[in-house]
Amino acid sequence: MKQHGILEIGPAIDCNKSEADRRLRQCAQAGLFSHAVDPVFGGLGDGFAGMCKDFEQLGVTTRDPGLILAVNAHIWGAIFPLLRFGSETQKTALLPKLIKGELLAGHAITEPQAGSDAQAMLVSAVTTPKGFRLNGCKRFITNTPIADLLVVYAKHEGAISAFLVRSDDSGVTFADGPSVQGCATASMGDVLLADCTLPADRLLGKVGAGNMMIHLALELERAFIFSAIAGVMQWQLKEVVAFAKKRQVKGKPLSDYQAISHKIAEMKLRLESVRLWVGKCADHCDRKKRITVESAATKWYASEAFLNSSLDAVHILGAHGLEGEHVALVQDAMAGRLFSGSTEVQKNIIASMLGM
């Protein structure tokens, strides 16, 4: 894999949309979208474990959870649903372009009134003689408005169906929307559908299969987004270890104070535990096993671990920790507890798999 390509991406300098667009395409050039995808469509045909290695490297070199979010929205929100549910024509037309970054994508589930409860979505699709007509609004959609293509979920014939919506389709606007403070280097916006007219070949998967497709997409996103965040946690750990060894308090290094060294030991344990959980998910996926419980546990554990380690890093670095990058990671980590389903949602999944 093109490790040198990942090394060239580097930390974010700006939070604007053209920069988000440019960095996402750089990730494509570094080969990050080609893992676990059949070579027929331009993929590497390797496994999930290899992908995790590159993802962690991305986290170390960029320490940019916004970019990591954008990469994952593109892969799990669009590439994998297409791989699994797309027709041969859809796959042949779109996958090579998505892998090369010629098209940028994501998925649109959330609406102003429907977050954790996706069943409360109001965006509607009706079947017309020539295809479909969609109406409504999606909110907090990663890679919008820069995306060329989104997988949009809508209420349709009494269930949820998935549609491939392009930014230049009639009746759709990929627009700026309310932005959030965490993961701010990712582009985020609304999808406005006003009699959006789609031809019949834009249905992705079967009519009414949308709910199952949302579960599968989020299952993968939850499992692997934190493999790149583990890279950020690795960088945080290195920073605090170096600081604690150098910073003198009452004539000795900060690291000699057990209150500090124990916090750092906890950061190390969290990092290794995130790697173990992600590795377990990769191993299951490489053996074609479902990861419903494993991915919920990974998302729950890893998002809490990242938040706790980000808070510890800022604390150990003292006022220096409040200067910029480290405190921004606390906000990113707060967002990490919400995207792909909040901590409570992951607990609900695990409990339901235990029959509760």
Q: Which is nearer to ligand FAD, 73 or 204 (by Cβ)? A: 73
108 within 8 A of 191, measured Cβ to Cβ: yes
For residue 284, the tally of other CB atoms under 10 A from its CB is: 17
Per annotation, catalytic residue among 221, 294, 304, 323:
221
Mask of contacts with ligand FAD, 13-52, x by CB under 6 A?
----------------------------------------
56 is annotated as an active-site residue: no
Binding mask 46-85 for ligand FAD (x = CB under 6 A): -----------------------x---x------------
Instruction: Count residues binding ligand FAD (CB under 6 A).
Output: 22
Helix (H) or strand (E) holding 201: none
Does 335 engage in binding with ligand FAD (CB under 6 A)?
yes
CB 153 to ligand FAD: min, Å: 8
Asked whether the CA dihedral 250, 254, 260, 265 is positive or negative, the reply is negative
**CA atoms of 131 and 133, how far apart (whole Å):** 7
Closest separation between CB of residue 191 and ligand FAD, Å?
9
3 state DSSP class of 152 = strand
**Least distance CB 242 / ligand FAD (angstroms):** 30
Binding part of the chain for ligand FAD, among 30-38, 178-186, 241-249, 287-295 by CB under 6 A, reads: 178-186
Looking at the Cβ atoms of 37 and 183, the one nearer to ligand FAD is 183
Say how far residue 302 (Cα) sits from the centre of its chain. Answer: 13
CA 216, 233, 266, 311 torsion-angle sign? negative
Q: What is the dihedral of CA 206, 208, 212, 214, to 10 degrees?
A: 100
From 36-44, 119-127, 279-287, 335-343, span contacting ligand FAD (CB under 6 A): 335-343
- What does the alpha-carbon distance between residue 6 and residue 289 come to, in Å, rounded to a whole number? 29
Site for ligand FAD in 201-260 (CB under 6 A): none
At 145, phi and psi to the nearest 5?
-85, 10
Part of the chain binding ligand FAD (CB under 6 A), chosen from 31-39, 97-105, 138-146, 168-176: 138-146
CA atoms within 13 A on the CB side of 229: 37
Cα–Cα distance, 128 to 209 (Å, whole number): 19
Residues labelled as active-site residues? 221
Interface ranges with ligand FAD (CB under 6 A): 69, 73, 106-110, 115-116, 140-142, 180, 182-183, 335, 338-339, 341-342, 344, 348
